[in-house]
Amino acid sequence: MKFTIITLILVLSFLKTEVQSFSEEHYQYDKVYKTMLGYYNRGLYHKAVEYPDSLIGNKYVNGSTNYFIARVYALANEFDNTLFYLEKAVKKGITKKQIGRMYDLDAFRESNMNIIYELNYDKWHQEYENGKNDFELDSVYIKEIQKIQDEYSKNLTIRRADGDEIIEVKDSLRFYHTTKRLDSLSFSVMIELMLEKGFPTYKTVGKSFYTYTRYLRYNMPDDYDVNCADWKKIKAMIFAEIEKGTIYPFYYAAIEDYIRLKKKNPQLYGTMNYIHKSSIDYSNGVEFENPEELNIRRRTVGLCSIQLEMWSKARELPLSLKEINFK
């Protein structure tokens, strides 16, 4: 069905005020963050550090955001601001191990400010640990998600090296068919689990949320019927969480784009605007539904313009967007 501006306005008219507010706040976040990222990728750190103040008070600023800002300030040799944002990052969960292996902070580590960081890290980290007690995690749900993940890994040949899982592939064809079968099984079990226990969020299952959401998005079988009763219930759960602000406003948009991409249909939101497979870049094979209205749709789910998105990663627009006059 053609996605028109009129349809978009009708949809928006039924959205709750909170959803529009979340989308707009994330749009402002995404716009500023991607601008900083674009300058960072070009080595223009003095330009990137002009933007952090624009994110003050934005609910979508997390530990990773503050960590990134700290790194940018370090590269701009503004070590007092590096320390300021490192403190924020640690208090939101960034660890000493992560900080210790980041080369962006090499100059900071040689400065006097690093002494203050070393003296205070444990205190800042403890504040993060104390804050975790505010979440009432569902241990049963977490164990069920872990069980699905363990079952998936057990059915592949896995070995560990320095803590990382490495899949040993002895027969590429057999491996492909095995993973497709396991993807389908894990997806089905996840759906059953969610129908029984509700949609999990970070506040209910912690880091297991990332495992769950990866399976939900990427393990969907090619022939799965998104019009079936189960998926309609799942979709309703997702939109209910979006309305509460517990997940990103573009959460379902990313799933929708992935479903369309697998079926070789044009994307709606451009959440998968470039695709890599081996050494081949399939950027120019990506198509978009009514591309002149793409940025309007992106903003409704809290995403910056496609031009800024691609610029932030120092990439060219796909050919399918090159001549588009965006609205």
If asked whether residues 126 and 144 sit together in one domain, one would say: no
Mean pLDDT across 86-99: 96
Quick one: 213 and 160 in the same domain?
yes
Task: Name the H helices within 49-95.
Answer: 63-75, 79-91
Say whether pLDDT at 107 is over 60. Answer: yes
State the CATH number of the domain containing residue 43.
1.25.40
Is 295 a domain residue? no
Q: Give the residue from 194, 224, 254 where a domain finishes.
A: 224
Q: Are residues 127 and 176 in the same domain?
A: no
Whole-angstrom Cα distance, residue 124 to residue 109?
18
pLDDT band at 285 (very low <50, low <70, confident <90, very high): low
Residue at 272 is within a domain: no
Lowest mean pLDDT among 91-105, 175-189, 251-265: 175-189
How many Å apart are CA 21 and CA 62, to the nearest integer? 18
Task: Dump pLDDT digits (tens) for 48-78.
Answer: 999 999 999 999 999 999 999 999 999 999 9
pLDDT(24) > 70 = yes
| CA torsion angle 205 211 217 221 (round to 10) | -120
250 in any annotated domain? no
Query: Which helix (H) or strand (E) segment is 180 a member of?
Result: helix 172-197
pTM for the structure as a whole: 0.83
pLDDT over 70 at 16, yes or no: no
CA distance 100 to 95: 9
Residue 313, both tokens: 């990663």
pLDDT one-digit tens code per residue, 227-274 = 999 999 999 999 999 999 999 999 999 999 999 988 889 999 999 876
The model's confidence at residue 33, banded by pLDDT at 50, 70 and 90, is very high
Q: What are phi and psi of 248, to 5 degrees?
A: -65, 145
Q: What is the pLDDT of residue 176?
A: 54
Same domain, 119 and 67: yes
What number is the average pLDDT over the span 140-156?
A: 81
Same domain, 37 and 110: yes
Which residue, 224, 252, 268, sits at the end of a domain? 224
By residue range, what is the domain housing residue 110?
27-134
d(CA 219, CA 185): 9
Dist. CA 263–CA 259, nearest whole Å: 6
Mean pLDDT of 189-205: 92
Nearest Cα neighbor of 144 from 181, 215, 197 is 197
105 and 145 belong to one structural domain: no
* Structural domain includes residue 152: yes
Q: Are residues 51 and 116 in the same domain?
A: yes
Task: Verify that 148 and 110 share a domain, yes or no.
Answer: no
For residue 223, pLDDT beyond 90: no
| 84 inside domain | yes
- Residue 105 CA to residue 137 CA, distance in Å, equals 34
pLDDT at 319: 82
51-65, 137-151, 190-204: range with lowest mean pLDDT: 137-151
123 and 208, same domain (yes or no) = no
Verify that 46 and 105 share a domain, yes or no: yes
Inter-residue contact 36 to 67 (CB < 8 Å): no
What SS3 class is residue 223?
A: coil
151: Cβ contacts below 8 Å, ≥ 6 apart: 186
Banded model confidence at residue 133, pLDDT cuts 50, 70, 90: confident
Most confident listed range (130-139, 172-181, 258-267): 258-267
State the Cα–Cα distance between residues 257 and 266, nearest whole angstrom. Answer: 8
Domain count within the chain: 2
Statement: residue 199 has pLDDT above 70: yes
Same domain, 181 and 217: yes
Q: Which of 134, 169, 186 is the last residue of a domain?
A: 134
Share of the chain above pLDDT 90, in %: 59
Q: Rounded distance, CA 148 to CA 156, Å?
A: 13
